Structure 1
């Protein structure tokens, strides 16, 4: 039974913003974002040339910021402030290094202060205070930020505008690019650990695996540990053929069940379509061995999504499952279908 095609889904409109990509300078005259040559050489070994790096960067930004370089968000997820194409945040300590790099990129303290007075005249001093650059942030920083948010964690229009201006600044685009390329280098090591490459290796590193590993590291910090992977692969190797499809169905049942509970967020408009589509793939036997293993590895990792006591476990699973299967709905964006 065919399911609705992606074109029939309601897709949210991207907000006006500076969009993620291999951006030319604001005057359109040249490309200005740099990639470290040594990093570029290493990443080329897993199929990531310059075009692919920016394609992956843009793909990462879609579920995080709807494709924008900035799109700041408040404390709705207990991270105080999240901003930037990978939603770096104060809560995990990932935002502070970007702010420090941007500040330290100026030739002098005076140049920094002048730029900050233009970009963030109201909240710049707070954002770059020692209290807000500490990891974790100090109480004075937390109080100052929360005073600029409402009870639902929505940023004031002024703080939102200043964070947007800061993260759309040319120099901050370079900082974000540098940090993302460093993240890709970590992804490369993740992949070589989980899928070691040698002559005759049974598990080559494909672009599907690269995209899956990027999303896992961005949202959960890395791939499952060696002990867990060994246990899973041992069980999969011993699994009788009669269990192949029922076991996969059970994972989709788990996703559907937790999606229906009271404390899972970010999936309300997605999980019903996903469950129907993915079960259709199972009925039609449209899941290959690589997809099967990646779905099981995703199940392992999604169970460890502990933010807000597991509030985002269904979302973590559906993001990766969509990448693995090539069809799915995330943030109301539907791609693919089941024939």
Structure 2
């Protein structure tokens, strides 16, 4: 998805039934008053009071209330993810998306209309509509659903769950209504911000977000088995694949993987590290161009640290190959005409190397050790 909080910090149902099997086990919604916080707030300020992503207790205090289907748990165990691992990956994914919050709604700054939730689902790409529909199905009856909407979103609930907003793409009435809820500063107004926060921090929506993330992890499992066929599936590869799936949606095609691996196999040993330095140079030079965002605080430090790792022999064969795969996928990041390619590479490279700075958050160091 999108690096929404990076930009924020820079600024000062119709279809489907209501009686699913999951809903029969769900407790009635616990109304939480919508938050009407004044703007602007930085993401870090919001994070102090938001409901944090993780294996949290329900509003009523029930521990581990979020469900993971046994068959899903069994499949994820094949790539080393138990329940704790699933929620650890979920929390990690949410950091660059929402600073670790379950909600963090933002508006139309990049033409996606509304983005919200730990994976920043949005109206623009059509990823938010299924999440809203799934939330409705969490309730035992239409009456319970309507009561929840009135409690959590009394002003904008009718709009958010209208036919026009649940269509892909959204209809003109939905678009106009959402844009009218933006202030002159480009932020969502406090009422819509608060109502979206209340919905996405509700117990029912936490279950929906968990379901969607588990489905993503299951898709990642299949991708891992294809991209790294015949190789051990390490936690480094799992974390790399999850970040790729969340941010870009898919992985290099088989023909691209075969081509790059063929070139790496045929490459003279004398060229090995110069080729990798060239990738790091591509990242640095791209970061210096006029239309790359989210990397200003990071690129020089990353360039220094990553080259230090080459100099000190701290990059192993798995990391070497994964950096090349990261490069070929990052150079095809097309959002806003490639505006996020450098940030995309740095997110993945930090995971691969265990050293890196993303959005000013530094982990590890080569030059200090």
TM-score by length of 1: 0.93
RMSD: 1.4
More deviation in 225-234 or 145-154? 145-154
Tell me if 1:39 matches 2:72.
yes
Deviation, structure 1 residue 152: 5.5
Tell me if 1:60 matches 2:93.
yes
Q: Matched residue of 2:109: which SS?
A: helix
Q: Matched residue of 2:251: which SS?
A: coil
Deviation, structure 1 residue 204: 0.9
Tell me if 1:301 matches 2:334.
no
Is the CA contact 1:319–1:330 (under 8 Å) kept in the aligned structure 2? Answer: yes
Matches within 5 A, 1:92-111: 92-111=125-144
Aligned-partner Cα distance in 2 for 1:93–1:233: 34
Specify the alignment match of 1:221 in structure 2.
249
Tell me if 1:289 matches 2:325.
no
Is the CA contact 1:15–1:66 (under 8 Å) kept in the aligned structure 2? Answer: no
Deviation, structure 1 residue 217: 0.2
TM-score by length of 2: 0.85
Aligned-partner Cα distance in 1 for 2:208–2:351: 27
Tell me if 1:123 matches 2:156.
yes
Q: 1:22 to 1:120 in 2, by over 3 A?
A: same
Pairs aligned (count)? 324
Matches within 5 A, 1:3-42: 14-42=47-75
Specify the alignment match of 1:233 in structure 2.
261
Shift >6 Å, 4+ stretches: none
Aligned-partner Cα distance in 2 for 1:269–1:32: 39
Question: What stretches of structure 2 of length at least 5 have no aligned partner?
Answer: 1-42
Tell me if 1:85 matches 2:118.
yes
Aligned-partner Cα distance in 2 for 1:48–1:333: 26
Aligned-partner Cα distance in 2 for 1:46–1:82: 30
Deviation, structure 1 residue 262: 1.1
Q: Matched residue of 2:357: which SS?
A: strand
Specify the alignment match of 2:20 in structure 1.
none
Cα deviations by residue, 1:28-74 (Å, 9 ceiling, x for unpaired): 34220000111100000000010100000000001110011111111
Deviation, structure 1 residue 12: 5.5
* Alignment equivalent of 1:195, drawn from 212, 217, 228: 228
Deviation, structure 1 residue 324: 0.3
More deviation in 43-52 or 282-291? 282-291
Question: What stretches of structure 1 of length at least 5 have no aligned partner?
Answer: 1-10, 198-202
Deviation, structure 1 residue 162: 0.7
Aligned-partner Cα distance in 2 for 1:285–1:141: 55
Deviation, structure 1 residue 105: 2.0
Cα deviations by residue, 1:135-154 (Å, 9 ceiling, x for unpaired): 11122211211111245542
Q: Matched residue of 2:232: which SS?
A: coil
* Alignment equivalent of 1:259, drawn from 280, 287, 290: 287
Q: Matched residue of 1:140: which SS?
A: helix
